[in-house]
Amino acid sequence: MNRTLPLLLLALALPAACVHAQKPVRFDGPAALALEVLSQELEGLGLQTAEMDERDAVLRTRWLDTGFRYGFVDEREATIFRRYTLVLQRRPADTALTLRAEVATCPRGAAAFGGVELPASCQPMEGVLEDHQQELERLGLELQQALARLRPSPEAAGQPPAVVVVIVFRAAEGLLGSGERERLEEVLAAKLTETGRFRVIPAETVKAALTEQQRESYRQSHDTASQIELGRAVAAQKLLQVQLQPAGAGCRLLGTLYDAAEMVSEQAVSADCACQPAAIPAGLDALVRALVDKLR
């Protein structure tokens, strides 16, 4: 009997799975984040640390068998093993973290030695399953929320209280489609709030302060004075106006912070990015960092 026939029949019986390029998860944590503290937070999420490299600021969790059957290794049915790697980039005000999953296929029944090393028969996987990408993103969100509890309040850190701000996001004609401006405004609001230096007045509160006629006028207006007046109406201390403009082969984000009481500009920052909507959040992240640096 042909040996490949049973394997072929088994392959047809296995669940279909789509593998795609992995998208690492990036987020910020508290300043001077120690690997030991990160290990404790991961343990609280059910993951044990296998390796900590202080020199390169890298932490790896133990290899675990996910139990997901995927293909064959040495003509034996295989399952996917996975571990997580966290790379830290320490900065004066915070720590940037990059979370990735390392995946490999191993013969069913294989075991990682101490959770640190896989058997020689295992084979690295190119890409990840969609379900595993989603699990990676959920872990990143849970870890980000856990680390947020470690951040001291601005007052406890000896910083001034958070500034109450209202956001105005503009884009040059043709750069953004319907609904994309509002989505990016929400991304900007989240990034500002994460710094601990700002409290953003929700867009719903701003809209509620306007009549229907005023709302349309405000949406189309580029009059900074009228925007600042609106900021006052919703008890904002500052107005942050961000404009997305073409710049060479890409785009540039220009941010100006206005004082709502004195109606004068205080700070101006900029950041370059690609013009595709998916690339603009990275530019907003750089813009917010530049703004926080100027406020120190």
Q: What is the pLDDT, as a whole number, of residue 265?
A: 81
Q: What is the pLDDT, as a whole number, of residue 146?
A: 87
Q: What is the pLDDT, as a whole number, of residue 259?
A: 85
Q: What is the pLDDT, as a whole number, of residue 51?
A: 95
The DSSP bridge partners found for residue 106 are 79
Q: What is the pLDDT, as a whole number, of residue 234?
A: 67
Q: What is the pLDDT, as a whole number, of residue 195?
A: 80
Domains with residue ranges and CATH for the chain: 4-148 (3.30.530.50), 163-295 (3.40.50.10070)
* 3-class SS letters over the chain: CCCHHHHHHHHHHCCCCCEECCCCEEEEECCCCCHHHHHHHHHHCCCCEEEEECCCCEEEECCEEEEEEEEEECCEEEEEEEEEEEEEEECCCCEEEEEEEEEEEEECCCCCECCCECCCCCEECCCEEHHHHHHHHHHHHHHHHHHHCCCCCCCCCCCCCCEEEEEEEEECCCCCCCCHHHHHHHHHHHHHHHCCCEEECCHHHHHHCCCHHHHHHHHHCCCHHHHHHHHHHCCCCEEEEEEEEEECCEEEEEEEEEECCCCEEEEEEEEEECCCHHHHHHHHHHHHHHHHHHHC
In the numeric block, the tokens 């990036």 are attached to: 26
Among 202, 196, 201, 200, smallest CA distance to 161 is for: 196
Among 284, 24, 285, 28, smallest CA distance to 144 is for: 28
Token pair for residue 216? 């349309």
pTM of the entire predicted model: 0.53
Among 194, 209, 18, 244, smallest CA distance to 93 is for: 194
Q: Is 75 left (phi over 0), alpha (psi -120 to 50) or beta?
A: left
pLDDT tens per residue across all 296 residues of the chain: 444 444 444 444 444 468 899 999 998 888 788 899 999 999 999 999 999 999 999 999 999 999 999 999 988 999 999 999 999 998 877 889 999 999 999 999 999 998 999 999 999 998 999 999 999 999 999 998 888 777 665 555 556 667 888 888 989 988 988 788 888 988 898 888 888 788 888 777 777 766 544 554 444 445 666 666 666 666 788 888 999 999 999 999 999 998 887 777 888 999 999 999 889 998 998 999 899 888 76
- Specify whether the CB–CB gap between 218 and 241 falls below 8 A: no
Token pair for residue 57? 């600021």
